[in-house]
Structure 1
Amino acid sequence: MQKKLILDSDLLNITVSRLCHELIENHRDFTDTVIIGMQPRGIYLADHIHRNLEKILKRSIPLGYLDATFHRDDFRRREIPVKPNENRIPFIIEGKNVVLVDDVLFTGRTIRAALDAMIAFGRPAKVELLVLIDRKYNRELPVAADYVGKYVNTLASQRVLVELQAQGHKHNKIWLINKD
């Protein structure tokens, strides 16, 4: 197994800062905007973005977590039953602008499932997608991110590994792994 470093801790901080400023350009003071992190791994990036935005804007911004496990089109095709994660959306998204956050955009199927799952919490005015890594050339559904930390050309046989301190890792690092 070969690992290639895509982003180290310093570059990740710069990337998250840039993404936050892009969000501020489009959502100003976040009056009608909420942030929703995708379970399980997107919540760590959502937390990081949320902390940075609140520090910059000096105001509270609604943050939630969304699990799309039971809305996936491959839910019943797995040999081992999947264990769902917690939905934690303590606010109504009806009429709000939603920034959906995930760590890696690959086939687009998880995002499709998230859009279905989100409807249980109301009908948003608009949904935008923010991802840390966009794996180009692997999309199975017509899904595109509005905010991207880094575009990475990958093969279907490769995978992206996101290691964040919030997940218990020593350093923030994003790797491209070749499965040999």
Structure 2
Amino acid sequence: MPKAVVLDGDAMRRALTRIAHEIIERNKGIQECVLVGIQTRGADIARRLQERIEQIEGKTIELGVLDISLYRDDLSTKQDEPVVQKPEFPFSLQNRTVILVDDVLYTGRTARAAMDACMDVGRPSRIQLAVLVDRGHRELPIRADFVGKNVPTSTEEAIVVQLEEVDGTEQVIIEEKQ
């Protein structure tokens, strides 16, 4: 049961539009940039950022999807066998600015795994991180370059991002962990 709604659909759209502008501004355009969405919701958010950047710049930024299942350091603690998706990179990461996109930044372990996966595919000139929500509680020294909303949470709470594509609704909520 939701404890609080952090972002509704309109607030999510505004946050993603702001992130798109920040990506363009920080990189002085998108010529050398590619978006890489982390499965599952990060990939959907990356697609939305791609659309917004195209609307703003009038150019398409390339988009890839990354499954980091085998790169996770907590793989042995997961109960299900991972179903690994092949990286969807219709482009080279070599000497590009890779913008990793995820829904929630928490411990930093997912971002670290995504960076490892990217380095196995190519050698980007730099990697940036864009997240819809940063909830704190980092276990690794990782920070997002682009953040939709900072949401201080306790470790007893969970942030749940719901997207129309996956969940049939648009919102970010805080729930008590079960």
Q: Normalising by structure 1, what TM-score?
A: 0.94
Task: Name the counterpart of 2:72.
Answer: 72
Identity %: 37
Matched, 1:157 2:144: no
Q: Distance in 2 between the 1:72 and 1:30 partners? A: 29
1:84–1:157 Cα change, 3 Å: farther
Q: Distance in 2 between the 1:67 and 1:78 partners? A: 15
Q: Could you tell me which amino acid in structure 2 is paired with residue 135 of structure 1?
A: R
| Residue 87 (structure 1) shift | 1.6
Contact 1:160 1:177 in 2 (8 A): yes
Contact 1:42 1:101 in 2 (8 A): yes
Contact 1:40 1:85 in 2 (8 A): no
Contact 1:2 1:179 in 2 (8 A): no
Q: Distance in 1 between the 2:30 and 2:122 partners? A: 18
Q: Could you tell me which amino acid in structure 1 is paired with residue 148 of structure 2?
A: G
Q: Distance in 1 between the 2:86 and 2:173 partners? A: 27
Deviations 1:63-108 (A, max 9, x none): 0001111011111232321222342111101000111100000110
Q: Distance in 2 between the 1:164 and 1:51 partners? A: 16
Counterpart mapping for 1:32-71 below 5 A: 32-71=32-71
Gaps of 5+ in 1: none
Counterpart mapping for 1:1-180 below 5 A: 1-136=1-136, 138-169=137-168, 171-179=169-177
- For this pair of structures, how many residues does the alignment match? 178
Q: Distance in 1 between the 2:113 and 2:90 partners? A: 20
Deviations 1:94-144 (A, max 9, x none): 0001111000001101111111111122100010000000012x1111110
Instruction: Name the SS of the counterpart of 1:153 in structure 2.
Output: coil
Q: Distance in 1 between the 2:171 and 2:77 partners? A: 32
Gaps of 5+ in 2: none
Instruction: Name the SS of the counterpart of 1:161 in structure 2.
Output: strand
Contact 1:36 1:98 in 2 (8 A): yes
Q: Distance in 1 between the 2:121 and 2:40 partners? A: 18
Q: Normalising by structure 2, what TM-score?
A: 0.95
| Residue 39 (structure 1) shift | 1.0
Q: Could you tell me which amino acid in structure 2 is paired with residue 132 of structure 1?
A: L
Two-structure CA RMSD over aligned residues (Å):
1.3
